[in-house]
Amino acid sequence: MRKFVSILIAIASVIGIAISFAGCNVEVTGGFYTLKTAYDNGWLDVDDVRSIACCYYDNYSLETNPYSGAYKEPTEKLSRTKQKELKKAYSNSTKYNNIKIHRYYGTYNGNIVVYIRDDDFKCDIAYQPELNIGGITFINFFPGYVNIYHPYEEKPPIDVRGSFYGLKQAYDNGWLSTDDLKSIACHYYDIYEYPENPYSGAYEEPTNLSKELEIEVKQAYLEQIADYPEGMLYDVDIFRYYGIYNGNVVAAISSRYKALDFTQEENEIGGITFDNLRRYDIRVYHIN
């Protein structure tokens, strides 16, 4: 009898190891993005967003559903393999036992839309009383309630012609003038909502960043700051754009490949004061 029990335990151990290795071998072929990012990048159209909104209102039993009947019922369920892939991508590791897919909204143009979360982490952040995307309104919205899993795309070759510098380096090298610094500082104080802006009115409204230059800046960030050149451009966010001064792109940039760098910078540059300036607040991309 003892021998029989030992055999069962051995078999169970083998099965457990096999399952463990199977989980490790799940290939992640995409990444998670917000609904707004997916719409802005053209991965979802208005009809897709309307369908998702219809399902969203029904799921959360909101009083009225302004998009009733617009939901596109998915033709197929998520396979177990795809569920494991999503969980692994969401957890960014092979340990995803606590990751749960609570709702599946459907697949739109290859984009899988789900409500996924780590059930050990109970807090949903960034509540928005109302969110409007493409004219479609979501009320009582938590961004974590709708997650878009977008398949990675092959990147074309990108010519990175420049490098990143700190604000002081750019000024010391003569790439930025005192007036440029005043404009940047004015915008900096306005962004952080200081009670008083010592450079109020000095900000020069920038021209739009061209798509080609935006792509180059993002790839430069992946190579030089994140140290992950094969990373995806969609994962890089130019979350503050100060403008282009004498060909130098001045911006605050982040990505999921690198934690924000809170290293303190010099507060006074060329006689212009930047209160509590940190490295990630302002970067200067200079084309060599």
Give me the residue spans of the domains in the chain.
Answer: 28-151, 162-287
Q: Average of pLDDT values for 71-95?
A: 87
Q: What whole-number distance in Å separates Cα of residue 33 and Cα of residue 150?
A: 7
Helical segments of 25-126, H only = 35-40, 46-59, 80-91
pLDDT of the residue at 13: 47
Handedness of CA 176, 178, 179, 182 (dihedral sign): positive
DSSP 14-45: HHHHHHHHHHHTPPP-EEEE-HHHHHHTTSS-
pTM of the prediction?
0.63
Amino acid at 67: Y
Count of CB atoms situated within 10 Å of the CB of 221: 26
What radius of gyration, in Å, describes the C-alpha atoms of the chain? 24
pLDDT of the residue at 222: 95
Q: Which of 49-53, 58-62, 284-288 has the lowest mean pLDDT?
A: 58-62
pLDDT of the residue at 20: 44
Pseudo-torsion of CA 222, 224, 228, 233, nearest 10°?
Answer: 10
Count of CB atoms situated within 10 Å of the CB of 175: 18
Q: Average of pLDDT values for 212-231?
A: 94
Q: Which of 25-29, 91-95, 114-118, 249-253 has the lowest mean pLDDT?
A: 91-95
Q: What mean pLDDT is reported for the chain?
A: 87
Residue found by looking up tokens 């990630």 in the block: 280
> Which pLDDT tens digit goes with each residue over 163-187?
999 999 999 999 999 999 999 999 9
Tokens for 126, please give them. 């960034």
> Which pLDDT tens digit goes with each residue over 140-150?
888 788 999 99
Number of H helices, E strands in the chain: 7, 12
